[in-house]
Each structure stands twice: as structure tokens, then as C-alpha cells.
Amino acid sequence: MFITSKLYGKVNISEVEEYTVTNSNGVSISAIPFGATLTKIVTPDKNGDMADITLNVENLDDFITHRPFYGATIGRVAGRITKGHYAIGGKEYQLDVNEGNNLLHGGPDGFDTKLWHIETEIGESEGRLIFTYTSPEGENNFPGNLWVKVTYTLTEQNEWIIDYEANTDAPTLFNPTNHVYFNLTGDIKQPILNHQLYLKSDFFAPLGEENLPSGELEKVEGTPFDFTTPKQVKEAVLSDHPQIKPLNGLDHPFALSPNAGEAQGVLYEPESGREVTLYTDCNSVVVFTHNGEVDDYTIEGAPARQYAGITLETQTLPDAVNQPGFGNIILRPEETFTSQTTYKFGVRTDKK
């Protein structure tokens, strides 16, 4: 297990290094302190060939200019907050909005736009990248100062473990996620449509106007949202379901009932044999299938293609502060927020 670093880019006069943790299997994760952003995950396929299984921009300037969220830590609140507005105990709060009248992914100056502090730790069987950031009172008009720590751990068992920890000095909101996009083929020119997905989820959250959750939870049974038995992603993404057709794919929260140590999902790609197993203590995972080509920047000489990656964004159900029954994202001064998500990388030699 070892950690290396190299110059990745510059933010004004600040140099930004990319840190890479590599284990004895040759599996590695790379990340940068800008946005506490994951930039690469390299794993073997069934022939032992190594490749980066994530979608990301090629340089920091594109990341800063276009804010694609690829691999970024998202916060204070992932997803959308209706009209950027909420009330706690009768007190109303108005946050900065950045997608029409709504707040998306933490607002105009979300966590992905910030330069975090980074420390590294190396042990026998684990390597850690420890990111910290202080979000000042009033940032994106959120109340309270917020101290956040996000730790990326790579283990010898090929797990990327994300630990979140946060404290505040006034009641505020906190619902982070990581916006990693997987493409297990190792080639972002290949769509993720033939990836196989399993989700231990019996309900999904339908979206209404402006991609805001309707507040309902609908059974997946009998719909393209049913991944309780593994199936190809394209069976949902290319369906005519009224929740999918208008979006040209998935962009939906799936409700989870997590039990410690129990897999909540598996993403598998048969040609490479690569799989990622998801564990989390969150009550949902947002699956977004990169539903349109993005030509604001190029990756490997071409625009980021439609279906170039698929996210598994673990979090509390979106807009929870406004949707009864979606969970609690209020963080109070007397509390410490902790949450853990693990992506475990593996390979299958058969083609099942």
C-alpha cells in the first residue's frame, strides 16, 4: 500500500495535486483536494488488464469552468431543495438557488467548487486521503458554520470506503454524497447500457416538475425501476416509462433499508467481468445515467457521450427537509453527523 502525488492543475496561484493510493493488488483510487473529488479508480478486468472505471474531465480548468460534478463531493445538501426554501421550528430559511428557482447540489458555491485541505495516512492494509473543509455561516445562505471531514480509504480488499463526519454551531442542513460515475468497461466511449444492475430497493421516488421529487415513494415491482433481480441498465434507460422517457434515462432516487454489512447494490459489466458492490448506511441511492451528450468539454478528444457513466449517489432521499417521511437532514450543534458508503471492486471470470 503506497500513496503518490503529482501536479494536477492550478486554482489561481494554488497548485492542486492529485493523490493516488495503490494497494498490493494494483488497485488504486486517485483524488484531488478541489471538491474532494475522486479522479480515477483503476481496477483489473477478468484478463488482469487495468483501466480507469470512472468518468471524469481531463483537467482542472474544465472541472472549474463547467462544474460537471464528476467524482465530486456534493454538499452541504446533495440533490435538489424545492425553491431553496425550508422551515425548521417555524423559522423560515431561504438558500441561494442555482437551477431555476431550486437549489441543486449545495447551491452556486457548493462543496465541489471549494479547495479542501488534504492529509494522507498510510497503514499496512489501508491508505487514506483525509479531506477537511470549513463551510462558513451564510455560504450559499446556509445557517451555521459547518466543519466537514471526508475520508477516502482504500483497503487491501479493494474497497473504497467514504466516511463523512460533520459538526455545526447552529441548526443547519447536511446531506452529502459523492458524484462518481462508473463505466466498468474501462472505456468511456462505450455506453453503460449493457451494465447489469442489482439494487436492494422496493421503492423509488418519482420526479415531478423541474426534476423535484413528488414526495411519493412508488413500488418498483412491475416497473422498469425493479432491479431487485439483476438486469441490464438499458431495460430501464431505453424504456417508454413516463418517468424515464422524458429524461432519456434514469435520474431517480431508490429507497434503501440498509443493514450493516449487507450489499445494497451490485453493478456488473460482463465483457470486462468487473463488478462494484455497494454498501451504505444511507436511506437512498440516486442512479443517474448521464442521459445526454455534454459538449462543453472533450474527454479523449470527444464530447462526454450520452450514457458514458452511471452514478450510485448514496444520500438521504432528496429534498428530505421538505418531504415528510424522506428522512432527517437537519444537523444540530449537539450532534456529530457520520455516514459511511463503501464501493467494493471485484472481477468475475465467468460471464454470468
Query: Which residues are catalytic, by number?
Result: 179, 313
Place of cell 465541489: 112
Output 19 or 164, the one with its CB closest to ligand G6D.
164
Contact 314, 129 (CB under 8 A): no
How far, in Å, are 99, 150, 202, 306, 349 from residue 72 at the CA level? 18, 11, 28, 19, 31
Output 44 or 110, the one with its CB closest to ligand G6D.
110
The answer to the question of residue 235 lying near ligand G6D (CB under 6 A) is: no
Among 251, 303, 306, 344, interactor with ligand G6D by CB under 6 A: 251
User: Which SS3 state, helix, strand or coil, does residue 147 take?
Assistant: strand
What cell was used for 190?
462505450
Among 211, 223, 239, 248, interactor with ligand G6D by CB under 6 A: 211
Output 50 or 294, the one with its CB closest to ligand G6D.
294
The answer to the question of residue 69 lying near ligand G6D (CB under 6 A) is: yes
Output 69 or 198, the one with its CB closest to ligand G6D.
69
The answer to the question of residue 288 lying near ligand G6D (CB under 6 A) is: yes
The site for ligand G6D, by CB under 6 A, has a size of 4
Dihedral class, residue 319 (left if φ above 0, else alpha if ψ from -120 to 50, else beta): left
State how far the Cα of 241 lies from the Cα of 252, in Å rounded to an integer: 13
The answer to the question of residue 108 lying near ligand G6D (CB under 6 A) is: no
Q: Measured from the CB of residue 105, what is the shortest distance to ligand G6D in angstroms?
A: 6
Within the chain, how many helices (H) and strands (E) appear?
2, 31
The answer to the question of residue 131 lying near ligand G6D (CB under 6 A) is: no
The 10 Å Cβ neighbour count of residue 323 is: 18
Q: Measured from the CB of residue 37, what is the shortest distance to ligand G6D in angstroms?
A: 13
List residues near ligand G6D by CB under 6 A: 69, 211, 251, 288
